[in-house]
Chains A and B, each alone.
Chain A
Amino acid sequence: NLKMAAKSIVIDVEGMTCNSCVQTIEQHVGQMNGVHNIKVSLEDKNAVIIYDSKLQTPATLQEAIYDMGFDATLADSNP
């Protein structure tokens, strides 16, 4: 089965103040294994990530952003 287990999550990110912060997160998380797409919004203070659920989980993605020095919390707790 070649169909990928792509999922999308929203992670609230606190502590970003400029586009440099946004780009840093997009580059860092974007190059993680299993991350297909990431869009970080400075206005909404969140990151929308499309990822392969076989390779990443909401927790590992949240931790990656947390490790970078930002407060990251999962926005929606979908089942």
Chain B
Amino acid sequence: FQKHEFFVDMTCEGCSNAVTRVLHRLGGESFDIDLPNKKVCIDSEHSVDTLLETLKKTGKNASYLGEKSTQ
């Protein structure tokens, strides 16, 4: 499985909780949030565009970093 890695400008628990909520609402997402490094890894059937759009809904800066293969 390929995981998509995104940068999201999160600064606190509240920010990462907000990201968690919008991703949950998208449905069926499996993801890890790395708050110190401001990274979100998502394993999803949705397209990168959809995921990025969802992340941007939080109002934070977000960008696509690339695919990350799981060993």
Whether chain B is bound by chain A comes out as yes
Total cross-chain contacts (CB, 8 A): 46
Q: Establish whether residues B21 and A25, one from each chain, have CB atoms under 8 Å apart when the complex forms.
A: no
Q: Known contacts A69-B21, A70-B21: does B58 contact A17 (CB below 8 Å)?
A: no
Say yes or no for A6: interface residue by CB 8 A criterion: no
Among B11, B13, B18, the residue within 8 A (CB) of A70 is: B18
Number of A residues whose C-beta is below 8 Å from B? 14
Q: Establish whether residues A69 and B17, one from each chain, have CB atoms under 8 Å apart when the complex forms.
A: yes
Q: Which residue of B lies closest to A67 (CB)?
A: B57
Q: Known contacts A69-B19, A69-B21, A70-B21: does B14 contact A16 (CB below 8 Å)?
A: yes
Q: Establish whether residues A24 and B58, one from each chain, have CB atoms under 8 Å apart when the complex forms.
A: yes
Say yes or no for B60: interface residue by CB 8 A criterion: yes
Say yes or no for B28: interface residue by CB 8 A criterion: no
Which residues of B are at the interface with A, using a C-beta cutoff of 8 A?
A: 11-15, 17-22, 57-60
11 further A-B contacts with Cβ under 8 Å, apart from A18-B14, A69-B17, A70-B21, are A15-B14, A16-B14, A17-B14, A20-B11, A20-B15, A24-B15, A24-B59, A69-B18, A69-B19, A69-B21, A69-B57
